[in-house]
Structure 1
Amino acid sequence: MQKKKESFSFKASSGVPPQVGPFSHATRWGDLLFVTGQMPTDPNTGKVVDGGLIPQSIQVKKNLEAVVAHFGLTLDDALMVRVYLESFDDYDEFNDCYKTWFTKELPSRTCVGVHGLAVGALVEIDLILGIPN
């Protein structure tokens, strides 16, 4: 079977924030879905949510869920998660929130502390998901 690459972008009216750069929200390759790092941007306002790390993390989760829902998937279909924290001092606080996001086994994950993120965000997360046959 020949694999075909398909890239997808969504309008904000789909519940997914607009891109902040030249990329697709998701790319499908065979039975894998690669989701671009989502920011804590409210798709209704186009602004980063206020309130610190946890409200931003929850908005990132909502944005990820909005992207994967277009493919009939949930976060439980995630195989790999990459988390970027503007401050690694937030690691434990983020983990307390993150571990509630899944109803099945936790996916593989990498968490990286960085010196800055687009749009002044405190957190960004990207995913690789498996698409069940």
Structure 2
Amino acid sequence: MSKTRTHHVFPPSAGVPPQVGPFSHAVQFGDLLFVTGQMPTDPATGQLVAGGLVEQTRQVMANLQAVVRAAGAELDDTLMVRAYLTDFDDFDAFNAEYRTWFDDPLPSRTCVGVTGLAVGALVEVDLVVGMPGGAA
């Protein structure tokens, strides 16, 4: 059976930050949704949110939730998370905020330290989501 690939690009009115580069917000292939890494930008202004790592993580997760919901799923449908931190000393603070966004059982996750992120962000997160009722 052939699988279809669907590219999702959502308007800011969906609560999703505007695109700042040549990418789709998410791509669905079969029953998997690959969500582009989200930055801590306010969907209404496109600007980096004020505050530190906790505030930025909260905005990143809200942006991810908006993309996932616009595609027809929920964050708890997430299978895999990749998180990027510019300062690995923020690992515990990131974990504390991150944990509030998922029910048990938690998705698998990789967290890496990086030397820099776009727009001066402290954190970026991307996801692989299992789509409910998705084509096999």
- TM-score range (shorter-chain normalised) is over 0.9
Instruction: Please name the residue that 1:85 is paired with.
Output: 85
What secondary structure does 2:7 align onto? strand
Instruction: Please name the residue that 2:65 is paired with.
Output: 65
Number of residues of Structure 1 aligned to a counterpart in Structure 2:
133
CA-CA distance at 1:72 after TM superposition = 2.3
Instruction: Please name the residue that 1:41 is paired with.
Output: 41
CA RMSD of aligned residues (A): 0.8
Contact 2:10 2:70 survives alignment (8 Å): no
Instruction: Please name the residue that 1:14 is paired with.
Output: 14
With structure 1 as the length reference, what TM-score do the two structures score? 0.97
Instruction: Please name the residue that 1:31 is paired with.
Output: 31
Kindly, what percent of the aligned residue pairs are identical?
A: 65
Query: 1:115, 1:33 → 2: CA distance?
Result: 27
Contact 2:27 2:35 survives alignment (8 Å): yes
Mind listing any 5+ residue stretches in structure 1 that lack a counterpart?
none
CA-CA distance at 1:97 after TM superposition = 1.1
Mind listing any 5+ residue stretches in structure 2 that lack a counterpart?
none
Instruction: Please name the residue that 2:125 is paired with.
Output: 125
What secondary structure does 2:60 align onto? helix
With structure 2 as the length reference, what TM-score do the two structures score? 0.95
